């Protein structure tokens, strides 16, 4: 522990929830963070929902969060495109996500030279056809929200953006010019800016060693691993990167949190 922790980057899937199930202690944990005036962001690479839709989902699950607490790879991509002054794009995305891009000044346009790929759970052949034709013209920018090949769900895995990108690469030979979601440093840089966080007072809390914990290390912030998702104790023993702290779940984390942080 470097010093008192006042800012937290919280991974969502495998840390706070798993699919549709709220993990043990998660709601109490987030409530305590608010009560103790800690600043935090809930991070997810899942770009099938807009930030507003995520807010609604989290509230339905009992989390007392606000819009400012949600940071998706979709929102990171909106910020990225806005910085690049991109005004329109053909977006593979759900209606809510397309609306979120519009709110950042990126209008949905099937005639655009730019292509944005998000976790479009309403994807169909016609959309792939339009996307392929745009890429083959080689004129605009090609951006994807995140690189994950599959998304874990309660009964297995479903194809995610990385799999869509593989299809488009086979068809066009093109790979994205930028992928602003995790594990891109851009994503964490933006998250830190949004909280106005100081590195020495920031911790990342997650369930994956190769992404969450590695990022914490690379970024010079405290890394906290929870054994509620992907990583098991035996994986941790042989892991090349070690977290600063490990907890079985958020209840155990909370028991030591206010004394230690
Ligand atoms: Mg996770």
How far is ligand 1, taken at its centre, from the CA of residue 137, in Å?
37
How far is ligand 1, taken at its centre, from the CA of residue 174, in Å?
28
How far is ligand 1, taken at its centre, from the CA of residue 46, in Å?
11
User: What pLDDT is recorded for position 261?
Assistant: 58
Token reading at 253: 């984390």
User: What pLDDT is recorded for position 2?
Assistant: 43
Q: Which residues of the chain have pLDDT under 70?
A: 1-3, 257-261
8 A C-beta contact, residue 69 and residue 94: no
How far is ligand 1, taken at its centre, from the CA of residue 132, in Å?
31
Question: Distance (Å, rounded) from C-alpha 67 to C-alpha 41?
Answer: 10
How far is ligand 1, taken at its centre, from the CA of residue 22, in Å?
13
User: What pLDDT is recorded for position 105?
Assistant: 98
Same CATH fold assignment for domains 7-45+182-260 and 84-172: yes
Q: Which of 41, 75, 42, 53 is nearest to 145 (CA)?
A: 75
Token reading at 62: 């009992």
How far is ligand 1, taken at its centre, from the CA of residue 194, in Å?
21
How far is ligand 1, taken at its centre, from the CA of residue 16, in Å?
9
How far is ligand 1, taken at its centre, from the CA of residue 175, in Å?
25
Kindly indicate whether the domain formed by 84-172 is annotated with CATH number 3.40.50.2000.
no
CATH number of 7-45+182-260: 3.40.50.1000
How far is ligand 1, taken at its centre, from the CA of residue 170, in Å?
29
| Number of alpha carbons in the 13 Å side-chain half-sphere of residue 48 | 14
How far is ligand 1, taken at its centre, from the CA of residue 187, in Å?
15
User: Could you tell me the residue ranges of all domains in the chain?
Assistant: 7-45+182-260, 84-172
How far is ligand 1, taken at its centre, from the CA of residue 241, in Å?
16
Dihedral sign for Cα atoms in the order 62, 65, 66, 69: negative
Give pLDDT tens digits for 172-224.
999 999 999 998 999 999 999 999 999 999 999 999 898 899 889 988 999 99
User: What pLDDT is recorded for position 20?
Assistant: 87
How far is ligand 1, taken at its centre, from the CA of residue 135, in Å?
31
Strand pairing of 21-22 and 17-18? antiparallel
How far is ligand 1, taken at its centre, from the CA of residue 207, in Å?
5
How far is ligand 1, taken at its centre, from the CA of residue 226, in Å?
9
């Amino acid at each position: 522990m470097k010093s008192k922790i006042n800012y937290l980057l919280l991974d969502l899937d495998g840390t706070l929830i798993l699919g549709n199930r709220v993990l043990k202690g998660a709601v109490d944990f987030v409530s305590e963070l608010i009560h103790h005036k800690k600043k935090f962001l809930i991070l997810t690479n899942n770009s099938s929902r807009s930030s507003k839709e995520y807010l609604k989902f989290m509230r339905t699950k009992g989390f007392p969060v606000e819009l400012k607490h949600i940071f998706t790879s979709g929102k990171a991509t909106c910020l990225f495109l806005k910085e690049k002054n991109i005004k329109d794009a053909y977006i593979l995305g759900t209606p809510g996500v397309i609306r979120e891009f519009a709110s950042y000044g990126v209008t949905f346009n099937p005639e655009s030279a730019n292509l944005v790929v998000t976790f479009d759970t309403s994807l169909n052949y016609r959309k792939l056809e339009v996307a392929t034709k745009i890429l083959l013209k080689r004129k605009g920018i090609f951006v994807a929200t995140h690189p994950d090949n599959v998304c874990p769900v309660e009964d297995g895995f479903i194809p995610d953006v990385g799999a869509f990108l593989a299809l488009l690469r086979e068809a066009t030979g093109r790979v994205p010019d930028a992928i602003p979601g995790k594990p891109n440093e851009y994503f964490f840089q933006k998250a830190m800016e949004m909280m106005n966080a100081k590195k020495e007072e920031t911790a990342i809390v997650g369930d994956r060693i190769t992404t969450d914990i590695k990022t914490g290390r690379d970024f010079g912030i405290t890394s906290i691993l929870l054994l509620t998702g992907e990583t098991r104790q035996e994986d941790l023993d042989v892991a090349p990167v070690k977290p600063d702290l490990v907890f079985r779940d958020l209840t155990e984390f909370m028991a030591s949190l206010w004394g230690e942080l």
